[in-house]
Structure 1
Amino acid sequence: MIDILSYGLMGLGVFFWFWGTFPLLGNRSVLFKLHTLSVSDTLGSINILVGLLLRIPEQWPLILLALITLAIWNTVLGYVLAYCSSHEKRNG
């Protein structure tokens, strides 16, 4: 049962990775595309890491560190992109 749940979460993570790339083909703004891509990549990566946690629970400290780092990195990257975008509009 754990194996099925683990594979399901990892499959869902890969689905989110691919799902986030489809808006890149649209005619929306670059910031919308980056936001969609970063959110779907974050959700996909978190699902994959939780799936790995179910498969190899003895590695929980490293997987927990990866989850925390992923959440912090993507939040900070979002703020940096938003700042750079608003700074460029004010000076441009």
Structure 2
Amino acid sequence: MRPILIALPCLLAACATVHESYAPDGQKAYTLNCSGMARGWDKCFSKAGELCGAHGYSVIDRNGESGAVFGGTSNGWGGGSTMERSMVVECKNP
């Protein structure tokens, strides 16, 4: 049971999260978040492809921003970097 509890967050961290939203023209769109060190733009593009299928999609907005995370070591130094990534896509009509 314990290995499952450890593995679950790792699996979830590797996927893009999706929230239904609306494009400026009022059409249904999806906001995809693929932030973090374990995710990349490829996760967002892959999820957009899954959502929209063979008809494809248009990227309406795309944002990426670097950041740093500090702390967590006994001497007060340490940390790493993180990347905030999100994009909004609209599925193309057939």
TM-score tier, shorter chain, comes to: under 0.3
| TM-score normalised by length of structure 2 | 0.26
TM-score (norm 1): 0.27
Q: Which has a greater percent of helix?
A: 1
Higher RCO (C-alpha 8 Å, min separation 6): 1
